[in-house]
Amino acid sequence: MAKQKMLAAEAIALLLERKGVEHVYGVPGAAILPFYDAIRELTGIKSYVVRHEQTGAFMADGYSRATGKVGVCAATSGPGGTNLLTGLYGAYMDSVPMLAFTGQVATPLINTMSFQEAPITEMAKPVCKAVYLLTEPERAAEVVHEAWEVATTGRKGPVLIDLPVDVQKVEIEVDLDEFVSQPDILPEATDEEIQQVIRLLNAAQKPVLLSGGGINLANATEELKELAETLQVPVVTALMGIDTFPNDHPLFAGRMGTMLNTPYGNKTILESDLIINLGGRFGDRSIGSVEVFKRNAKIVHVNLDKKEIGKYVETELGIAADVKSFMVKLAKAAKEARDEEPAKLDLTVERQKHARKTDFEDIPIKPQRALQELREFLDRDAFVSHDCGISQIWSCQLFETYVPRSYLITGGAGTMGWGLGAAMAAKLAFPKRQSVNVVGDGSLGMSLQDLATAAKFDIPVIVFVLNNALLGLIRQQQNWFYDERRISTDLVYRNELCDNELRGIDFVKTAEGMGVRGELVTHYNDIKPALQRAVESGKPYLIEVVVAPDAICGFSNDGSLTGIDYKQN
């Protein structure tokens, strides 16, 4: 097609639509209005106004994690943009491809401390894969195209594009056909590397595959299953790989971590003599003390980003390559190298033998029991999103997953307030699947305003609040590591309108004030009926579960994989 005349903002909006963008999440302001106007006038992209830009970024992030596509958020200049920063940081930590558009003051006002001017590209740079300040209007489409390529190729990540308001309004001539994405060509493991892995596997008594977040990012869960079944080797998942392998598969051994673990997952790692890390990064919260984790085991580390290899853990063999093609090649080479099929391994009985207890009958309800009821009720492919806290840790210890990209979690950042936005975006992308935000009361306090977004756009998410009226995780740390010296972790308060000893905020009343139905649950037998009503309503729904404030979560108290008392419940 020939060049056409349009505003720079129009070129951006049209190009986003061509690239398949369906939604923009954000809050407009004067400096980003040309962008919003073009979205409205020229595209079928649906704009969701949120009640805090941070939620917009969390929605873009959650959309991307759930779909594998690029989530897009937008904000105005100054505080609008700075409100996106936590969201960008969380996406960067977990290598999530997303685009953030910010308005900027008019070019002549930049660097004059003018109204709502913030140096957003400089502020966002350390937490983005790339940042752009659009100064030449005729490059608008080119810059967006480049940003898209950067976000989606190699190790993925968020990209911010700052758009001065005057630049958005300049008429340019552009041919949008020039900006078509090309397939990403990734480095592949060499034949020699594959043979080295085969030799290490042959020499090992107890090899294990450790699955990280890169397996989801590479859409390689089928290849992982194929590889594990070919080798008949146990699979342990790291935090970001939690939903990369069906948790009822005979080869599933569990989860590894200092907090976010299952007993059998850690045991399998600690007894292994060869750990093949597939697309993970040996996060410190996963491995804890390197000496305890590594012992005498040999390590193979496959990661697209060679900066990750050998960063914390000494590695016998580091392979900077695409994990998907690596697994395909390794499975093929393993089949060729052997004379007979390996014996079939079934870890189901062992896994169940080591499982943590969940069927508590205490009142107030133990969080473990609440999560058991939730898992039993939900469909296998339901989305569950998380914030940060002891509720999140319990979920990571107990809540089984079966379907890739269904377990949404802010892994590297651990951001309170993240899960509601993520759950809403997943539900928008997959309206037929259930979508639940499992959230603590403290964390919901950081996203609460966006229940109004769920109500306004009629997004039938379920908000499952585990209310212990505490910053529970921090309280447990005060109890354990600071001799019970408690400060600023109690969320209860009293006055003539509010006297909820075990609840702090009355979330049911609060939700109803925003047009979201709510129910209070104090007995575990009432959880499933409440969930049933939530699903049948077809509306956003909040279930406030009052949980025991003194329930203790077993996680590492010395920072190592062995420093865990699994009986502590």
Q: Which residues of this protein are in contact with Mg ion, per CB under 5 A? A: 440-442, 468, 470, 472
Least distance CB 471 / Mg ion (angstroms): 6
**Cβ atoms within 10 A of the Cβ of 246, count?**
18
Least distance CB 93 / ligand TPP (angstroms): 12
Cβ distance to ligand TPP smaller for residue 92 or 179: 92
Least distance CB 473 / Mg ion (angstroms): 8
Cβ distance to Mg ion smaller for residue 490 or 565: 490
Angle between helices 33-42 and 8-18 (to 10 degrees): 50
Contact residue for ligand TPP among 471, 511, 514, 564 (CB under 6 A): 471
Contact residue for ligand TPP among 236, 240, 328, 470 (CB under 6 A): 470
Three-class SS state of 533: helix
Cβ distance to Mg ion smaller for residue 214 or 440: 440
Contact residue for ligand TPP among 385, 443, 447, 453 (CB under 6 A): 443
Contact residue for ligand TPP among 174, 208, 253, 473 (CB under 6 A): 473
3-state helix, strand, coil in the chain (%, to 5): 40, 20, 40
| CB closest to ligand TPP, residue no | 440
User: What does the alpha-carbon distance between residue 567 and residue 356 come to, in Å, rounded to a whole number?
Assistant: 8
Residue 390 contact among Mg ion, ligand TPP, none, beta carbon within 5 to 8 Å by kind: ligand TPP
Angle between helices 191-203 and 323-337 (to 10 degrees): 60
Residue 414 contact among Mg ion, ligand TPP, none, beta carbon within 5 to 8 Å by kind: ligand TPP
Cβ distance to ligand TPP smaller for residue 301 or 369: 369
Cβ distance to ligand TPP smaller for residue 109 or 474: 474
Q: Scanning the structure block, which residue is given the tokens 């140096």?
A: 119
Kindly indicate which of the ranges 249-257, 307-315, 372-380, 386-394 contains the residues binding ligand TPP, using the contact rule CB under 6 A.
386-394
Residue 416 contact among Mg ion, ligand TPP, none, beta carbon within 5 to 8 Å by kind: ligand TPP
Do the beta carbons of residue 31 and residue 115 sit within 8 Å?
Answer: no
Cβ burial, residue 258 (10 Å; 0-12/13-18/19+)? buried
Three-class SS state of 408: strand
Cβ distance to Mg ion smaller for residue 412 or 440: 440
Cβ distance to ligand TPP smaller for residue 283 or 472: 472
Q: What are phi and psi of 517, to 5 degrees?
A: -65, 145
Positive or negative CA dihedral for 403, 407, 408, 414? negative
Least distance CB 373 / ligand TPP (angstroms): 17
Per-residue contact string for residues 411-440; x = within reach of ligand TPP by CB under 6 A: ---xxx-----------------------x
Secondary element (H or E) of residue 142: helix 140-152
Contact residue for ligand TPP among 97, 137, 213, 389 (CB under 6 A): 389
Least distance CB 547 / Mg ion (angstroms): 8
Contact residue for ligand TPP among 10, 223, 322, 387 (CB under 6 A): 387
User: What does the alpha-carbon distance between residue 255 and residue 261 come to, in Å, rounded to a whole number?
Assistant: 5
Residue 54 makes contact with ligand TPP by CB under 6 A: no
Kindly indicate which of the ranges 133-141, 216-224, 292-300, 464-472 contains the residues binding ligand TPP, using the contact rule CB under 6 A.
464-472
Return the residues of window 256-315 that contact ligand TPP according to CB under 6 A: none
Kindly indicate which of the ranges 21-29, 68-76, 193-201, 465-473 contains the residues binding ligand TPP, using the contact rule CB under 6 A.
465-473
Find the DSSP H helices in 430-506: 441-444, 451-456, 472-481
Q: What are phi and psi of 131, to 5 degrees?
A: -135, 150
Do the beta carbons of residue 348 and residue 249 sit within 8 Å?
Answer: no
Least distance CB 163 / ligand TPP (angstroms): 28
Three-class SS state of 175: coil
User: What does the alpha-carbon distance between residue 364 and residue 522 come to, in Å, rounded to a whole number?
Assistant: 7
Do the beta carbons of residue 408 and residue 423 sit within 8 Å?
Answer: yes
Contact residue for ligand TPP among 128, 141, 201, 390 (CB under 6 A): 390
Residue 450 makes contact with ligand TPP by CB under 6 A: no
564, amino acid identity: I
CA separation, residue 251 to residues 205, 239, 294, 357 (Å): 16, 18, 22, 22
Q: Scanning the structure block, which residue is given the tokens 């005498």?
A: 296
Q: How many residues bind ligand TPP (CB under 6 A)?
A: 19
Cβ distance to ligand TPP smaller for residue 175 or 490: 490
Residue 415 contact among ligand TPP, Mg ion, none, beta carbon within 5 to 8 Å by kind: ligand TPP
Do the beta carbons of residue 442 and residue 488 sit within 8 Å?
Answer: no
Do the beta carbons of residue 26 and residue 75 sit within 8 Å?
Answer: yes
Least distance CB 370 / Mg ion (angstroms): 12
**By C-alpha distance, which of 424, 476, 473 is closest to 452?**
424
Cβ distance to ligand TPP smaller for residue 441 or 519: 441
Angle made by CA atoms 383, 462, 258, in degrees to the nearest 5: 55
Residue 442 makes contact with ligand TPP by CB under 6 A: yes
Phi-psi region of 136 (alpha: psi -120 to 50; beta: other; left: phi over 0): beta
Using CB under 6 A as the criterion, which residues of the chain lie in contact with ligand TPP when the complex forms?
387-391, 414-416, 440-443, 466, 468, 470-474
